[in-house]
Homo-oligomer: A and B are copies of this chain.
Amino acid sequence: MKVYVIGIGLIGGSMALDIKSLQPEATIFGIDADESHLAQAIALGVVEAAATFEDLGDADFVIVSVPVDVALIILPKVLDSIGEQTVVFEVGSTKMPICEAVVNHAKRRNFIATHPIAGTEFSGPSAAITGLFQGKTNIICEVEKTTFKLQEKALDLFKQMGMRIRYMDPKSHDKHIAYVSHLSHISAFMLGKTVIQKEKHEQDIFDMAGSGFESTVRLAKSSPAMWTPIFKQNRKQVVKTLEEYISNLTHFKDLLVNEDYDAIFEEMESVNRIKEILNGMISQIPNKESIRK
């Protein structure tokens, strides 16, 4: 089996490691615009050799795991280059623009639009880890537009990686993911900014930070190159979630200004049921020890 990973970072690299571990006879090739990334991925054993788009004709799988703006540009070119039996999938955090970009492509039926809900705050080939997708959800959009046999081939791979599959239309995906992923990232980035602004004048403040701050701000370590195009492509939904979040924060602040402590208690108590909601999720905190430095 020949697998080509285009963009060998956290997601593409972790998929490469899983596939090699599940199917040792597979050969994993890497394609990356950043030659130092590619060299690092080969040196780390994440992929075996470098390749180019010209090699894609005999690919079994092509995994497109690049920033979502780059995906819009290269995915049609990838589909131009593949063979009849090649499955191409893309793993970005927005699904409407990518589905629109290939809707009329002659090889649309070789493509499957996915969003594996998995990751860490790290990026680049060194962030790749084995088992990242175990127990995670993979959202597949417009599955009916993919040839049935190639659907099966892709689903078999995802299931081997331990993912459970959920089908959704691209519009619903982009709307909901704004709440449970994109908003969390902005919340963390702006929390980090607020505290760093303060720290300019008070160097010692971070000595006082505990595990609570570390957890809440964790996503502020994420890659701007990855996240700027996500926010761009999902701009309307993200703006809406931000408006709702800012409104809720302003309401809480007003309760505090007005010293309405009963209402403050009730606000927090009503959100406490997030416990049960999160308990319903499969535990998805990555194992720190398994993250390669």
From B139, B215, B217, A274 is in contact (CB under 8 Å) with B217
Interface pair A231/B256, CB less than 8 Å apart: yes
- On chain B, the residues within 8 Å of A225 by CB distance are 265
Interface pair A239/B210, CB less than 8 Å apart: no
> Does A106 sit at the interface, judged by CB under 8 A?
no
The B-contacting residues of A in range 258-293, CB under 8 angstroms, are 259, 261, 264-275, 277-278, 280-281, 284-286, 288
Total interface residues in chain A, CB < 8 Å: 97
The B-contacting residues of A in range 191-246, CB under 8 angstroms, are 191-199, 202, 204-222, 224-225, 227-229, 231-232, 235, 238-239, 241-246
Interface pair A118/B278, CB less than 8 Å apart: no
Interface pair A257/B285, CB less than 8 Å apart: no
A249-B249, A281-B214 known; A274+B196 contact, CB < 8 A:
yes
Interface pair A242/B256, CB less than 8 Å apart: yes
By beta carbon, the residue of chain B nearest A188 is B216
- On chain B, the residues within 8 Å of A186 by CB distance are 249, 252
A191-B184, A274-B192 known; A216+B219 contact, CB < 8 A:
yes
Q: How far is the CB of A271 from chain B (nearest CB, A)?
A: 4
- On chain B, the residues within 8 Å of A242 by CB distance are 249, 252-253, 256
The B-contacting residues of A in range 158-208, CB under 8 angstroms, are 166, 173, 176-177, 179-181, 183-199, 202, 204-208
The 9 closest A-B pairs by CB, nearest first: A224-B268, A211-B284, A180-B209, A184-B216, A117-B210, A192-B271, A192-B274, A242-B253, A190-B248
